[in-house]
């Protein structure tokens, strides 16, 4: 069968079936071939991930609010986490709008495509920053906080901020420039928002401009993750030997193993190792069509990725230290009474905890 193309905007697809429909719109009149989609399978997959995205957004909002209430945004890691949470919320909202509104205009579709590119790459970038900051915190000695150190921390965060948002936006602008020029060969020419509201998978452009940056981010994150784990285990072994906790008894060994396992899981989630699933599944765009196992595996992996906000909330908010800070922040009457009792006697003083806390947010989780 020979099809005459009346427009330059066309896409070749390998489909098992097609539909012949009569279409009438403007100057278009006649019978045309359309791709047949299995809407039932698509609806099942996106329905599950839709609820995971909604849940993730809710927990991310809770995380942001609680972090502001307890004052965790004063340190560098808190600022990094807030930026990551805001970015993931924007990404999830964009994806949910794309799932719900399936008939956007050309401009809306193109804007969604570029927003998805920016927010997805920004997620990897902020995870990269988080991984670097965690490794830096664990591997360098604790320093006294002074005015000079605060300026250095602020300068470091500003560099993080420029990298976390500037790099994805710059790459999106590069894609926009290349899309509207004939500089690249067709095999890697990027197309956004023409047939799909994303960087379209019609050639190798998604691999070059989307998957390759993700892969580079993930290699760096995984390397930092392994180095951090090795350093933490080494330090904990030294502490255990000093405290004589490495005795040959079952309870001691089980406790140490359990502590190490918990640390590895938390670091793995926070440092973005779970995003390996996103990069891996992106190379297999038709997992649901292979067999039943890969179909359900894709749904499970997509839900794990979409539940990042829930994992962040469980790790950083659901811990005793944060609960105590939140309780203290919300108990205004209790604080006022305590302050009054401390100031009634001029010869007495309120007890203060002078113990320096050298542990990071992650280690306290």
Parent domain of 77: 40-322
How many residues does this entry show for the chain?
365
Answer whether residue 10 is part of any domain. no
- pLDDT tens string 129-162: 988 888 887 777 666 556 677 888 889 999 999 9
Q: Please state, in angstroms and rounded to a whole number, the distance separating the CA atoms of residues 19 and 9.
A: 20
- pLDDT tens string 91-119: 999 999 988 887 888 899 999 999 999 99
pLDDT of residue 351: 40
pTM of the complete model: 0.74
Which residue, among 337, 261, 247, 308, has the nearest Cα to 57 in the 3D structure? 308
Answer whether residue 9 is part of any domain. no
Answer whether residue 202 is part of any domain. yes
Which residue, among 142, 153, 145, has the nearest Cα to 359 in the 3D structure? 142
| Strand segments (E) across the chain | 18-25, 28-35
Answer whether residue 357 is part of any domain. no
Q: What total of structural domains would you count in the chain? A: 1
Answer whether residue 86 is part of any domain. yes
Answer whether residue 298 is part of any domain. yes
User: Is the pLDDT score of 17 beyond 80?
Assistant: no
CB 92 within 8 A of CB 116: no
The CA-CA-CA angle for residues 309, 278, 216, to 5°, reads 105
User: Is the pLDDT score of 270 beyond 80?
Assistant: no
pLDDT of residue 345: 44
The domain that holds 134 is classified in CATH as 1.20.1070.10
Q: Which of 165-174, 215-224, 254-263 has the lowest mean pLDDT?
A: 254-263
pLDDT band for position 1 (cuts 50, 70, 90): very low
Answer whether residue 333 is part of any domain. no
- pLDDT tens string 64-99: 999 999 988 888 889 999 999 999 999 999 999 988
Answer whether residue 348 is part of any domain. no
User: Is the pLDDT score of 326 beyond 80?
Assistant: yes
Non-local (6+) Cβ contacts of 64 within 8 A are 82, 85, 86
Q: Which residues are registered as beta bridge partners of 18?
A: 35
**Mean pLDDT for all residues in the chain:** 76
């Amino acid at each position: 069968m020979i099809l005459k193309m009346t427009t330059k905007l066309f896409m070749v697809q390998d489909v098992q079936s097609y539909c012949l429909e009569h279409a009438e719109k403007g100057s278009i009149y006649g019978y045309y071939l359309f791709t047949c989609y299995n809407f039932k399978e698509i609806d099942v997959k996106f329905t599950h991930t839709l609820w995971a995205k909604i849940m993730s957004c809710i927990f991310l909002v809770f995380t942001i609010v609680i972090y502001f209430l307890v004052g965790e945004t004063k340190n560098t890691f808190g600022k990094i986490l807030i930026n990551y949470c805001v970015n993931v919320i924007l990404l999830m909202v964009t994806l949910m709008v794309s799932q719900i509104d399936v008939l956007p205009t050309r401009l809306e579709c193109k804007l969604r495509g570029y927003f998805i590119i920016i927010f997805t790459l920004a997620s990897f970038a902020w995870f990269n920053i988080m991984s670097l900051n965690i490794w830096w915190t664990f591997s360098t000695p604790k320093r006294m906080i002074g005015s000079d150190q605060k300026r250095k921390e602020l300068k470091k965060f500003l560099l993080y901020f420029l990298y976390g948002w500037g790099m994805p936006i710059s790459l999106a602008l590069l894609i926009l420039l290349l899309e509207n020029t004939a500089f690249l060969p067709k095999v890697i020419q990027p197309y956004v928002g023409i047939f799909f509201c994303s960087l379209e998978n019609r050639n190798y452009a998604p691999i070059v401009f989307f998957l390759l940056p993700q892969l580079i981010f993930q290699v760096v994150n995984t390397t930092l993750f392994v180095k951090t784990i090795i350093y933490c285990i080494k330090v904990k072994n030294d502490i255990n030997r000093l405290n004589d906790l490495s005795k040959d008894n079952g309870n001691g060994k089980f406790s140490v193993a359990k502590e190490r396992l918990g640390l590895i899981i938390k670091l793995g989630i926070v440092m973005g190792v779970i995003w390996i699933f996103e990069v891996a599944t992106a190379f297999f765009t038709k997992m649901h069509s292979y067999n039943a196992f890969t179909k359900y595996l894709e749904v499970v992996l997509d839900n794990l990725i979409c539940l990042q906000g829930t994992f962040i909330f469980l790790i950083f908010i659901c811990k005793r230290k944060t609960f105590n800070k939140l309780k203290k922040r919300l108990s205004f009457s209790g604080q006022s009474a305590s302050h009054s009792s401390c100031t009634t006697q001029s010869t007495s003083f309120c007890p203060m905890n002078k113990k320096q806390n050298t542990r990071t947010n992650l280690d306290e989780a």
